[in-house]
Chain A
Amino acid sequence: MERRPVPDAYEPVIGLEIHVQLATATKMFCGCELSFGEPPNTRTCAVCLGLPGSLPVANAGAVHFGLMIGLALGSELAPRSIFHRKNYFYPDLPKGYQISQYDEPLCLGGALGDVRIHRVHLEEDAAKLTHVGSSGRIHGSDASIVDFNRGGTPLAEIVTEPDLRSAEQASEWLKLLRTTLRQLGVSDVNMEEGSLRCDANISLRPAGTSGLGTKTELKNMNSFRFIERGIRAEIARQQKILSEGGQILQETLHFDPDSGAITSLRSKEEAHDYRYFPEPDLIPVAIDEDMLDAARAAMSELPADRARRFQEIGLTADSAQQLAFRGELGDYFELALAAGTEPAPQAQMLANWIVGELVGRLTDGEDPAASLVQPGALAALVGMLGEKRVSVGAGRQVLDTLVAKGGSDPMAIVQAEGLAAMDGQDELAEVVKAALQANADAAERVREGNAKAIGPIVGYVMRETKGRAEGTEVARLIHEQLGMPFSP
């Protein structure tokens, strides 16, 4: 094989295909209720079992959710879109074809953040296959069992343009999409339960070029962690092949999160010919003004809009995004602001205390609304901090107590534990004086210019004052008493 010149560096080019189970009352093309762990094959009918003679009827609720997604992504909503049949044989596909959309999808174009959207279309989910026996896959299994409860669940497939450049970026962006969809209320967006599923198209190109290399498709990674690991592993695999002068084969790949291995599911030559053709059992989806109005009316505020609004009330761009893109943090923030506590908390300080202090005290991913800390209590605490009625250190102690025991009145905790900020400068100055005497060596080193040596002196003051002293004020007093200039 001819060896190609090997460039110095490669740039990954990544596009995502996301399947979102829509949280409609009924399935995409029949009246069966969606299933949430019911016994197998109890949420089925002639239509979703593909019985002879049965016919699909499109779920208006799914179209409504599809339009909401399109509006949220800024897509062009097709006035007329059609369903196609995607033909292939598999036991989880009872009709021998999946009803999907092909060249006339519901939504075209759009963007979320800095990633462009290619299209959004509606389709039906397949049934769930369980392979009994040692292999766990269809080949070599003793039997395969089909549960049609999931079959026919409405899906929106969202396809991005290849605008992502790293595994981390892909994972971060997917979180933004998840928050957006959750905010819309169109899906449970739970990756572990399969209501949000993601495939990634990955290729590499020489850094600085704009063409596209041969891509591979990495299937069905069911957690954010696996997505990052899978994409990273595939980038590494391609990089190795290319840097050895090899060629990437266009194929569909499976990432095994346990072993980290990437295996081929099928090559381009083995790819299905799906024989798409317009679904003759359905009429085109014609979008009218009423449907658009209904979709617009049902839209709640989207994360990007919310972040903008948070910035307008004085948050930094970073804080605004942190709160808006983790919607539950944004909700908590707004509840705290709305609690009407006096003195009112300053917005940026409140955001910092939620993201920097509260979240760190909760278990990973826990919704603060589910913690014992009432939004109003945190607002009151931050209000006191703003007025310097308590020190930062004391505030942290109060928060510890709130997390552990709850309670609505942080002032009561402050009083009960004697954590109120020390009013008189004199009282604190006395403590500082005692601290300098007790740490004469350290005081001397500070005077000689060793800034770090201030630690034991501050520690003495904090112990003595139970943390009620304001750190900056303590440092100022130490410098003052040592006759040194101070800049915080």
Chain B
Amino acid sequence: MSTTDVFELSATAAAGAIAGGELSAGELFEAYRLRAAADRAAGEDGLNCFTWVAAEAPEDDAPAPFHGVPLAVKDLFCTAGVPSQSGSRILEGYEPPYTATVVSRLRESGARLLAKTNQDEFAMGSSNENSAFGVVRNPWDRERVPGGSSGGSAAAVAAGLAPWALGTDTGGSIRQPAALCGIVGLKPTYGSVSRYGMIAFASSLDQAGPLTRDVSDAALMLRHMVGRDPCDATSLEFPEEIQLPSAERLDGIRLGVPEELSGEGIEPGVLEAFQAALARAQELGAEVQTVRLPHAPHALSAYYVLAPAEASSNLARFDGVRYGLRAQDASDLLDMYTRTRHDGFGPEVKRRIMLGTYALSSGYYDAYYGRAQRVRTKIAEDFRAAFEGVDLIVTPTSPSVAFRLGEKTSEPLEMYLNDYCTVPMSLAGIPAISIPCGLSEGLPVGLQIAGPAFSENRLLDAAHALEQAIGFDGAPARA
């Protein structure tokens, strides 16, 4: 097999080729490793997808079913002996003594660690411009953002620098960059994948998921990610095996389009691609109807109370005492804390720590945190009610296509609106997938499909049928 052909293989196909003896795992790894290393060496002159790349191909001993297919892993997953910095100066060079459960599981399934991917600092951002290790560029247009916070993972997969990648989603951090980079991104049901070893942003929302070239790859990776982990008290046994999707039709499937998430604030070009996808779905036999999620417009406000509140506490451990950056020449303990955190955290992280600390403060708790929790409950109830009438809910993933680098960095609220369509599902803890559904201004548009908790198989089947019908071509980004 020629090297150029290798990069056109999906992860599933590559694993199959290794199993069939048509491809050597070592050669495949080395081919990707050289590409990734070149991008890493180029820094911001390249796509800047990676914060670490393997120095050599691993031993050729990887088991089925992945047979050594290389895997790119978001920086915030702990990987023993490999820098795990969550995109932050405060963890620069930090090498944890242990490996995240989900990374271990994928390794046991035969995946091999190719690289760690760039991300927004502590997963806070929608453009990957908040990384301490430089911005990531969108392979469809290098002057544009890849989305975030799993921007490095999305750009690497889209550009063919990695066959697939692991990301995390808190309010849209897998789905939105997948949409902006023209690939598939799945946020699983909260609790279905262990969070042990994921450097936390907002514990009640964080969830690991795959970023892949196609829906089958997403299903294959997810199959080997899910399951209860005794080290994560919030993890659950997935009630059924994740199937590799084969559906070609959507006969009898009722798709709900929430009024609140498919009109105002969505770019016309995005809406157009979304409407076209709905038409395709109908051609495949789906029944499309409007649904109401009355509290969805409040989701963003609730999210920007809850997530920063949890983050303000989760990030308290970065105090310079035990690991990571410590400010030198501090006059006393408080000075050491203050200067360490001043130097170590970027502006967006500081903003959210301030927001979250305020929201939890005595006298403000009920008005902010308490109220946001009630909104969260209402949103979950909205979804439950909607799923009584439809099987799946569809929305555009992101209100816009990839925007220009720097375009929204001075307007945090503008930036936060990127998560308008993805945050409601995060608050409800339900699974959602983004698949590319067309182009607008030459840039990919994402279609988000969400289902009830643990409906991943249904979700993947529908996504697969639509993917086949739409026939999106991601090749331009790999050129």
Q: Is B243 an interface residue (CB 8 A)?
A: no
Within B206-264, the residues touching A (CB, 8 Å) are 230-234
Within A12-53, the residues touching B (CB, 8 Å) are 46, 49-53
Q: Is B96 an interface residue (CB 8 A)?
A: yes
Specify which of A50, A146, A281 lies most central, judged by the most chain B CB atoms within 10 Å of its CB.
Answer: A281
Q: Is the CB of B316 within 8 A of A87?
A: yes
- Chain A positions within 8 Å of B, measured between CB atoms, are 46, 49-58, 85, 87, 89, 91, 94-97, 138-139, 144, 146, 273, 275-277, 280-283
Q: Is the CB of B195 within 8 A of A55?
A: yes
Q: Is B369 an interface residue (CB 8 A)?
A: yes
Of B354-362, B417-425, B461-469, the one touching chain A: B354-362
Q: Is B282 an interface residue (CB 8 A)?
A: no
7 A/B residue pairs, CB under 8 Å, sorted by A: A50-B322, A51-B322, A52-B84, A52-B323, A95-B317, A273-B361, A283-B233
Point out the residues of chain B lying under 8 angstroms from A54, CB to CB: 98, 196-197
Within B68-88, the residues touching A (CB, 8 Å) are 76-78, 84, 86
- Inter-chain CA distance A96–B340, complex, in Å, is 14
Q: Is B204 an interface residue (CB 8 A)?
A: yes
Partner of A53 from B198, B233, B357 at Cβ < 8 Å:
B198
Q: How far is the CB of A57 from chain B (nearest CB, A)?
A: 5
Closest 4 CB pairs of A and B: A96-B316, A275-B360, A280-B203, A280-B204
Partner of A52 from B96, B204, B233, B312 at Cβ < 8 Å:
B96
- Inter-chain CA distance A52–B197, complex, in Å, is 7
- Inter-chain CA distance A146–B321, complex, in Å, is 9
Partner of A97 from B309, B316, B333 at Cβ < 8 Å:
B316
Residues 114-146 of B, flagged 1 when their CB comes within 8 A of A and 0 if not, give 000000000000000000000000000000000
Count of inter-chain pairs, beta carbons less than 8 A: 107
Point out the residues of chain B lying under 8 angstroms from A57, CB to CB: 230-233
Q: How far is the CB of B234 from chain A (nearest CB, A)?
A: 6
Q: Is the CB of A275 within 8 A of B195?
A: no
- Inter-chain CA distance A144–B333, complex, in Å, is 10
Q: Is the CB of B199 within 8 A of A53?
A: yes
Specify which of A57, A91, A97, A280 lies most central, judged by the most chain B CB atoms within 10 Å of its CB.
Answer: A280
Partner of A275 from B100, B337, B357 at Cβ < 8 Å:
B357
- Inter-chain CA distance A97–B332, complex, in Å, is 21
- Inter-chain CA distance A273–B310, complex, in Å, is 16
Q: How far is the CB of A420 from chain B (nearest CB, A)?
A: 70
Q: How far is the CB of B327 from chain A (nearest CB, A)?
A: 14
Q: How far is the CB of B439 from chain A (nearest CB, A)?
A: 37
Q: How far is the CB of B354 from chain A (nearest CB, A)?
A: 13
- Inter-chain CA distance A56–B195, complex, in Å, is 11
- Inter-chain CA distance A58–B369, complex, in Å, is 24
Point out the residues of chain B lying under 8 angstroms from A91, CB to CB: 319, 321, 333
Other A-B pairs, 12, CB within 8 Å; known A51-B322, A53-B196:
A46-B96, A51-B97, A53-B199, A87-B316, A95-B316, A96-B313, A273-B361, A275-B313, A275-B360, A275-B362, A280-B202, A280-B203
Partner of B313 from A51, A55, A58, A85 at Cβ < 8 Å:
A85
Q: Identify the closest chain B residue to A146 (Cβ).
A: B321
Q: Is the CB of B91 within 8 A of A139?
A: no
Q: Is the CB of B319 within 8 A of A87?
A: no
Partner of B322 from A49, A87, A139 at Cβ < 8 Å:
A49
Q: Is B200 an interface residue (CB 8 A)?
A: yes
Q: Is the CB of B313 within 8 A of A277?
A: yes
Q: Is the CB of B94 within 8 A of A52?
A: yes
Point out the residues of chain A lying under 8 angstroms from B232, CB to CB: 55, 57, 281
- Inter-chain CA distance A281–B322, complex, in Å, is 22
- Inter-chain CA distance A146–B319, complex, in Å, is 14
Residues 44-58 of B, flagged 1 when their CB comes within 8 A of A and 0 if not, give 000000000000000
Q: Is the CB of A282 within 8 A of B233?
A: yes
Q: Is the CB of A281 within 8 A of B97?
A: no
Q: Identify the closest chain B residue to A148 (Cβ).
A: B322
Point out the residues of chain A lying under 8 angstroms from B78, CB to CB: 51-53
Point out the residues of chain A lying under 8 angstroms from B337, CB to CB: 89
- Inter-chain CA distance A164–B259, complex, in Å, is 63
Point out the residues of chain A lying under 8 angstroms from B321, CB to CB: 91, 94, 146
- Inter-chain CA distance A275–B195, complex, in Å, is 24
Q: How far is the CB of B114 from chain A (nearest CB, A)?
A: 20
Point out the residues of chain B lying under 8 angstroms from A50, CB to CB: 317, 322
Q: How far is the CB of A429 from chain B (nearest CB, A)?
A: 84
Q: Is B7 an interface residue (CB 8 A)?
A: no
Q: Assuming the A-B contacts A52-B91, A52-B96, A146-B321, are A277 and B360 also in contact, with contact meaning beta carbons closer than 8 angstroms in the complex?
A: yes
Point out the residues of chain A lying under 8 angstroms from B195, CB to CB: 55, 281
Q: Assuming the A-B contacts A46-B98, A275-B361, A281-B234, are A94 and B198 also in contact, with contact meaning beta carbons closer than 8 angstroms in the complex?
A: no
- Inter-chain CA distance A53–B234, complex, in Å, is 14
- Inter-chain CA distance A228–B453, complex, in Å, is 58
Partner of A46 from B97, B230, B318, B360 at Cβ < 8 Å:
B97
Point out the residues of chain B lying under 8 angstroms from A97, CB to CB: 313, 316
Q: Is the CB of B310 within 8 A of A138?
A: no
- Inter-chain CA distance A58–B360, complex, in Å, is 24
Q: Identify the closest chain B residue to A95 (Cβ).
A: B317
Within B91-121, the residues touching A (CB, 8 Å) are 91, 94, 96-98, 100
Q: Is the CB of B233 within 8 A of A277?
A: no
- Inter-chain CA distance A52–B325, complex, in Å, is 13
- Inter-chain CA distance A320–B111, complex, in Å, is 70
Q: Assuming the A-B contacts A50-B322, A53-B96, A53-B100, are A281 and B316 also in contact, with contact meaning beta carbons closer than 8 angstroms in the complex?
A: no
- Inter-chain CA distance A277–B372, complex, in Å, is 13
Partner of A96 from B77, B96, B317, B332 at Cβ < 8 Å:
B317
- Inter-chain CA distance A94–B323, complex, in Å, is 10
Q: Is the CB of B313 within 8 A of A52?
A: no
- Inter-chain CA distance A53–B103, complex, in Å, is 12
Point out the residues of chain B lying under 8 angstroms from A281, CB to CB: 195, 200, 203, 232-234
Q: Assuming the A-B contacts A51-B97, A52-B96, A57-B233, are A139 and B332 also in contact, with contact meaning beta carbons closer than 8 angstroms in the complex?
A: yes
Q: Is the CB of B362 within 8 A of A273?
A: yes
Q: Is B387 an interface residue (CB 8 A)?
A: no
- Inter-chain CA distance A89–B338, complex, in Å, is 11
Q: Is the CB of B200 within 8 A of A53?
A: yes
Q: How far is the CB of B267 from chain A (nearest CB, A)?
A: 34
Point out the residues of chain B lying under 8 angstroms from A53, CB to CB: 76-78, 84, 96, 100, 196-200
Q: Identify the closest chain B residue to A88 (Cβ).
A: B316
Point out the residues of chain A lying under 8 angstroms from B365, CB to CB: 275-277
Specify which of B84, B316, B322 lies most central, judged by the most chain A CB atoms within 10 Å of its CB.
Answer: B316
- Inter-chain CA distance A280–B100, complex, in Å, is 18
Q: Is the CB of A94 within 8 A of B322?
A: yes
- Inter-chain CA distance A46–B100, complex, in Å, is 11
- Inter-chain CA distance A50–B365, complex, in Å, is 25
- Inter-chain CA distance A54–B230, complex, in Å, is 12
- Inter-chain CA distance A97–B318, complex, in Å, is 12
Point out the residues of chain B lying under 8 angstroms from A85, CB to CB: 313
Point out the residues of chain A lying under 8 angstroms from B362, CB to CB: 273, 275
Q: Is the CB of A56 within 8 A of B319?
A: no
Point out the residues of chain B lying under 8 angstroms from A138, CB to CB: 333
Point out the residues of chain B lying under 8 angstroms from A275, CB to CB: 312-313, 357, 360-362, 365
Q: How far is the CB of A285 from chain B (nearest CB, A)?
A: 10
Q: Is the CB of A96 within 8 A of B319?
A: yes
- Inter-chain CA distance A57–B235, complex, in Å, is 11
Specify which of A46, A49, A56, A144 lies most central, judged by the most chain B CB atoms within 10 Å of its CB.
Answer: A46
- Inter-chain CA distance A89–B334, complex, in Å, is 9
Point out the residues of chain A lying under 8 angstroms from B313, CB to CB: 85, 87, 96-97, 275, 277
Point out the residues of chain A lying under 8 angstroms from B100, CB to CB: 53
Point out the residues of chain B lying under 8 angstroms from A144, CB to CB: 333
Q: How far is the CB of B326 from chain A (nearest CB, A)?
A: 12
Q: Assuming the A-B contacts A51-B97, A138-B333, A280-B310, are A56 and B316 also in contact, with contact meaning beta carbons closer than 8 angstroms in the complex?
A: no
Specify which of A54, A97, A144, A283 lies most central, judged by the most chain B CB atoms within 10 Å of its CB.
Answer: A54
Q: Identify the closest chain A residue to B88 (Cβ).
A: A52
Q: Is the CB of A283 within 8 A of B234?
A: yes
Point out the residues of chain B lying under 8 angstroms from A146, CB to CB: 321
Q: How far is the CB of A352 from chain B (nearest CB, A)?
A: 55
- Inter-chain CA distance A54–B199, complex, in Å, is 8
